[in-house]
Amino acid sequence: MTQKAKQTVLHAQNVRKSFGSRGNVQQVLKGIDLHVEEGEFVGIMGPSGAGKTTLLNVLATIDRATEGTILISGADISRMKDAKLSAFRREQLGFIFQDYNLLDTLTVKENILLPISLGKMKKKEAEAEFQSISSILGITELADKYPHEISGGQKQRTSAARALINKPSMVFADEPTGALDSKSASSLLGTLADVNQKREVTIMMVTHDPLASSYCSRVVFLKDGHIYSELYKGSKSRQAFFQEIMNVQAVLGGDSIDTL
């Protein structure tokens, strides 16, 4: 039986991003070419100032590129008007941020269902999706609790469920384990890797942590606004992949602080 060919979810070509104007222009992204296939779990790494978060923001429609073309599921987001881009972001993309971004006045369940509350999904279908994704992330019993009543790890799992509930074309995660202890971080990453494989959810994650990146299927390293190198996990164990990541990071001089 022939395996189904993977579709390209993200296609970025000659992506550039500059800040400032006239004589005070800072080039952060300097011509990025990147393809992400359906079902990939891609990590973005690099030293401080390499452009990791800037790249994520541009690809995730949070910011606009200065130059270049970005296609997500065939849609050219680099040329979309703001209203259409906002609708595309809501319907096609999921986001997991370091600081959770949960609404304190909503329960866990209400926070998770928020992305589909503006859509046309029927109540019965929405309930089934909630049960499915909350079960996978191990937070079903937290449905009626509020964010201040749960732990950091549970908040991030709620954030992840919210990102996945709409069955997005792509999920973007910006340092999702940055505020978690090591046990909660490993648990979340293991769950994301499991969801990635079982549901073929396409994920792009910015992280400074080699351990976090070892859960990915591919790691892209940035340096000075360019792609420096890439590593593919393939059939390697997570421990072996972690060591490869560490080796590249040692050459790059990676650290734990990234302002761009």
Residue 29's alpha-carbon distances to 23, 178, 223, in angstroms, are: 18, 23, 10
For the residues 40-68, what does the mean pLDDT come to?
94
Q: What percent of the chain has pLDDT over 70?
A: 95
Residue 114's alpha-carbon distances to 8, 51, 85, 163, 257, in angstroms, are: 28, 30, 18, 10, 31
- Give the pair of three-digit tokens for residue 241: 């992949």
Angstrom distance (rounded) from CA 2 to CA 7: 15
Angstrom distance (rounded) from CA 214 to CA 238: 6
Q: What percent of the chain has pLDDT over 90?
A: 78
pLDDT tens figures, 187-196:
999 999 999 9
> Which range among 134-138, 167-171, 255-259 shows the weakest confidence by mean pLDDT?
255-259
Task: Report the pLDDT value the prediction gives residue 4, as an integer from 0 to 100.
Answer: 58
| Residue 163: CA count within 13 A, CB half-sphere | 28
Domain extents in the chain: 8-17+27-97+170-253
Q: Which residues pair with 44 in a beta bridge?
A: 206, 220
* Entry pTM: 0.90
pLDDT tens figures, 57-83:
999 999 999 999 999 999 999 989 999
How buried is 244 (Cβ within 10 angstroms: 0-12 exposed, 13-18 middle, 19+ buried)? middle
Task: Report the pLDDT value the prediction gives residue 199, as an integer from 0 to 100.
Answer: 86
DSSP-based three-state secondary structure for 133? helix
